Structure 1
Amino acid sequence: MKLAFYAPMKSPDHPVPSGDRRMGRLLWAALERAGFEVELASKLRSFDKAGDAAFQAAMQEEGRREAVRLIAKWRARPAEAPRGWFTYHLYHKAPDWIGPLVCEALQIPYMVAEASHAPKRAAGPWESGYAAAERAIRSARAVFHMTRLDGECLKPIIPPGHELILLPPFIDMEMFRKNAAPVDVAAEIARAGGRSDVQNLLCVAMMRDGDKMESYRQLGQGLALLARDDWQLLVIGEGEMRATVEKALSPIGDRAVYLGAMAPEALPAWYEFADLYVWPAHGEAYGMAFLEAQGYGLPVVAGDLRGVPDVVLRGVTGILTSPGDNAAFATAIDDLLSDPARRQSMGERARAFVAEERSIAHAASLLKSHIERIL
């Protein structure tokens, strides 16, 4: 059965890597693993960062034209038409102007994953995008939400007879391991000026403005409160905010070891080497790196906000602290660095959690059961 796939925020073949693009690709792979034939319906990117009414109007018209094109194409060749439409990540800044029109014309079910609904955006610079996203969500036969928080926000606008389904974030650890490249971790740390006789904290994050930058600031403030000297922070990431990140981490001095950007295949070696994964996760939907780290048996210390509890089991695979509580963050790290047995136990549970509950196989099974019933 063929499904049309569309990601208005960022197409899965977009040249710029991001967590959003990665989850789009994972969903595509999970749908294929579930037995569906997946076709990219459109590459139109409706994302409006600034809240520009003229841009939103232009995107609406461009979306209408795309819908007309697709409707004509599939009506002319009905054997090639999809049985359903699957949109990934729509919200007020990236509404789906295409899918609902196509589904109405072809009388096929519309389905969405990782939709967000924020009533506070009903008026203001994203007013039209908010209205379009809400209409699309209301029209969807199935809405797969990836965090419990999103589910609570979506529940009031799901019509009777339509489904709201929890599809937790997931990862393809088999592929991650298969593509892993050998890395001389000790040599890389030495080259970056790090030490070989300390415990290693790890964070993997792009250096960009906004939420990532705020997490780096909180990380520097929290780590500065550690009263011990047997650790260093391995920082994997690069970006236009590099100088600002270095300033944010300046309170820990040369304990911050900058390793630069790395290809995905190099990351497994670092997850296996590190002792603890640390990241405040300010403003993040959930954080794919948490799943990667846990998949390699690395326990986590993170902020307890938004979708983080959907990817880190509180007190089981890591410790979650109140957002912005730098002292609690530092205490959690200190506790785990002081207790290797607890750290090992959490790491083992983390590995099992990802393998059993956050795997692509688990996601594919869930998608298959719900979508086949709808089609």
Structure 2
Amino acid sequence: MARLLTKALARAGFSPTLASELRTLDPAGDPARQDRLRRESEIAADRLADRFRSLAPPDRPVLWFTYHLYYKAPDWIGPRVADALGIPYVVAEGSRAPKRARGPWALGHAAAEAALDRADAILVMTDRDRIALEAARPAGQVIADLPPFIDAAAWGGGPPPGQSGDGAPRLLAVAMMRPGDKLASYRILASALLQIRHLPWTLDVVGDGEARPEVEALFAPLADRTRFHGQVEAGPGLRALYEGADLFLWPAVNEAYGMVLLEAQLFGCPVIAGAYGGVASVVQRDETGILTPPGDADAFARAAGALVVDADLRRRMGASAMRFVREQRDLEPAADILRRTLLPLVAGGAP
């Protein structure tokens, strides 16, 4: 998404550059690490501000843009630089977590809250994030929807919807194989598919990682109809798998939204996904796919079974899925949102 935002900003008429590569992520909740990262960030911010101030006015940045700001990865740099230069500060995909105000991430939480309070505009990518952001919105702050998007042109043209022919429907899952939420999703998927093993279908699984042995063990009872492809990079190989699939399946345990769900729909492949987090922001319920209750393997099995046996419904949903992504979730609609949101903030300068 960070790379896509850079593309969309350029399409919107801006000239984005990467200002800092300092990583502030603290996945474990280590207050000492957070304090060290804060001090390193402040030093980096002051150096950046000094460097930018040394430039001729036309060459100085006119806006600071931060992506994915939350309590585990706060932004101590952007607000400090924006204040030093007197420029707008904008956040995309920022989230508030009041429950983290105390505990091991208290310092990161305080920094994230301060940055979100400072933001002149916040671009919201899911309805889940919007609730808390609206509740704590400072006066004058712009909150604008920027739903997740992809660059359709980077994938090339798509096939007509309903590309499947005779034979068993081809199911597809694409995800890393690692302990935690990904493995939990694979566990739900295997459980659901075992419930519909009496129906005709085959499954392609794309992904790799340290939990691959556990994933393969989950699907061992379905080995005669499951094929593991390992890691497949975005490009012709993955595109061919999307094109050849009749139905994309992913339980999406604790997914923020799931870019693969958009990618599948781009090629006219309807989706069945668990309704976690912001998944509803990338799948139009009962139009481009089916969303099932989070973590409910039985409901997932019923939805998968219904679409496996109904080719007409798959084709209708696939056609809607392709239109949805190409008309609403492509690079140009995203660039238009960025243009309309950011240009008023830099009205005194050139993008």
Same fold per superposition (TM over 0.5) = yes
1:224-258 Cα distance to aligned partner (Å, 9 max, x none): 11152411211000111110111222343432211
User: In the alignment, which residue of structure 2 is the partner of 1:162?
Assistant: 141
Q: 1:289 aligns with which of 238, 256, 260?
A: 260
Q: For structure 2, which runs of at least 5 residues remain unmatched after alignment?
A: 160-165, 347-351
Q: 1:215 aligns with which of 185, 207, 217?
A: 185
In the alignment, structure 1 residue 276 sits paired with structure 2 residue 247: yes
Q: What are the residue-to-residue correspondences of 1:12-161 with 2, within 5 Å? A: 23-79=1-57, 80-161=59-140
**Mapped partners of 2:35, 2:158: distance in 1:** 43
Q: Which amino acid aligns with 1:63?
A: S
Corresponding pairs, count: 338
Query: Structure 1 segments of 4 or more deviating over 6 A?
Result: none
1:43-91 Cα distance to aligned partner (Å, 9 max, x none): 0010111111111111001100111101110111143210010000010
Q: What are the residue-to-residue correspondences of 1:164-243 with 2, within 5 Å? A: 164-177=143-156, 197-243=167-213
**Mapped partners of 1:314, 1:257: distance in 2:** 28
Is the Cα–Cα contact under 8 Å of residues 219 and 249 in structure 1 kept in the other structure? Answer: no
**Mapped partners of 1:270, 1:116: distance in 2:** 34
User: In the alignment, which residue of structure 2 is the partner of 1:335?
Assistant: 306
**Mapped partners of 2:256, 2:171: distance in 1:** 22
When the two structures are superposed, what TM-score results if normalisation uses the length of structure 1? 0.88
User: In the alignment, which residue of structure 2 is the partner of 1:15?
Assistant: none
Is the Cα–Cα contact under 8 Å of residues 199 and 305 in structure 2 kept in the other structure? Answer: no
When the two structures are superposed, what TM-score results if normalisation uses the length of structure 2? 0.94
In structure 2, relative to structure 1, the CA distance for the partners of 1:256 and 1:227 (3 Å cut) is: closer
Is the Cα–Cα contact under 8 Å of residues 112 and 142 in structure 1 kept in the other structure? Answer: yes
**Mapped partners of 1:250, 1:220: distance in 2:** 9
Matched residues, percent identical? 48
Is the Cα–Cα contact under 8 Å of residues 158 and 267 in structure 2 kept in the other structure? Answer: no
Q: Which amino acid aligns with 1:170?
A: F
1:136-189 Cα distance to aligned partner (Å, 9 max, x none): 001001000100111112112211111111100000011121799xxxxxxxxx
**Mapped partners of 1:170, 1:78: distance in 2:** 35
User: In the alignment, which residue of structure 2 is the partner of 1:256?
Assistant: 226
Q: Which amino acid aligns with 2:277?
A: R
Q: Which has the higher contact order (CA 8 A, sep 6+)?
A: 2
In the alignment, structure 1 residue 359 sits paired with structure 2 residue 345: no
Name the SS for the 2:318 alignment partner: helix
**Mapped partners of 2:15, 2:199: distance in 1:** 54
